[in-house]
Amino acid sequence: MDRELALEFVRVTEAAAIASGRWMGRGDKIAADQAAVDAMRSTFDTVNISGTVVIGEGEMDEAPMLYIGEKVGAGGLEVDIAVDPLEGTNLVAKGLPGSIAVLAIAPKLLHAPDMYMEKICVGPKAAGKIDINAPVKQNLKAVASGLDRKIEDLVVVILDRPRHEKMIQEVREAGARIRLITDGDVSPAISAAVEGTGIHMLIGTGGAPEGVITAAALKCLGGDMQAKLFPENDAEVERARQMGVHDINKVLTIDDLVQGDDVMFAATAITESDLLRGVKYFGGGARTHSIVMRYKTGTVRFVDAIHAFDRKKLYTKQC
């Protein structure tokens, strides 16, 4: 995959973030999401790829654009694309931290059905040490050992949901600290693989499509992830089978979720996070903060960009 495409994918997430960020704190998550979708889809038309959306806004009859199976791009390299134009719709609507515009590109991505997925995500130093079927304390010990610290030094991110009450109690009894989040587990999972964020692990059950996007980022960063689909009824089991997942109980490794070496990931913050700064608007433009990664080269770039809407009003000192 051409190196030049890295910045092209950042342009896609930047466009979604800038459009959606205008709705921050305005209480309308639907409008915020639609703004992100519209901007991301139109920008894809300028990128020289032949992409197929395998994770997007839903089926064609549910979503007018960025639907599963939609072809995007101006022509070029054939790739699978996973997108979430606005990961954390509630976060934007309420003006809370952690929302991002995100996409992942690979030769082959798991066609994850829209259902729950059990996840455990860690950084490079704990790679190869986790076991999603093991007790929570055992995984905490393994991660602590990989990081050369005590369990008490760890910070674990978990979605604040009733289904996680037992897991939260187990983490606390083991001695680790917890950061509970209300929505959006992609950004904190990535933070677990970046030193200096203060996040060391993410565990729990969240969206399966988001899990595949997370896996792409962790693969680029040298981190690790294991996952298991968590269907809630027979219909979801059948849906998974229709999408090619025949063993619903299989432990999915990071290479099951994201196949191949030409893996890329890009994200732009909409609101603040541990890793990225949110969109800031000023007279004549906006400033964005993004991350883009390539697995093949091991490159991780942070992109701090100023966008001029009206050059006559653009003063960078206002950023």
pLDDT the model gives residue 274: 86
> What string of DSSP letters covers 96-153?
-S--EEEEEEESEE----SSEEEEEEE-GGGTT---TTS-HHHHHHHHHHHTTS-GGG
101's tokens? 């515009």
Q: Phi and psi at residue 67, in whole multiples of 5°?
A: -85, 160
pLDDT the model gives residue 240: 85
- Residue 236 is given by DSSP the state H
Average pLDDT, the chain: 93
Render pLDDT for 129-142 as a digit per residue (tens, 0 to 9).
Answer: 999 999 999 999 99
Pure H helices in 23-87: 29-44
- Does this model's pTM top 0.95? My answer is no
26's tokens? 């305005």
Render pLDDT for 25-55 as a digit per residue (tens, 0 to 9).
Answer: 999 999 999 999 999 999 999 999 999 999 9
Amino acid at 79: V
What domains sit in the chain, N to C, each tagged with a CATH number? 4-107+263-318 (3.30.540.10), 116-258 (3.40.190.90)
Using the predicted structure, report yes or no on whether residue 319 has a pLDDT greater than 80. Answer: no
Render pLDDT for 181-211 as a digit per residue (tens, 0 to 9).
Answer: 999 999 999 999 999 999 999 999 999 999 9
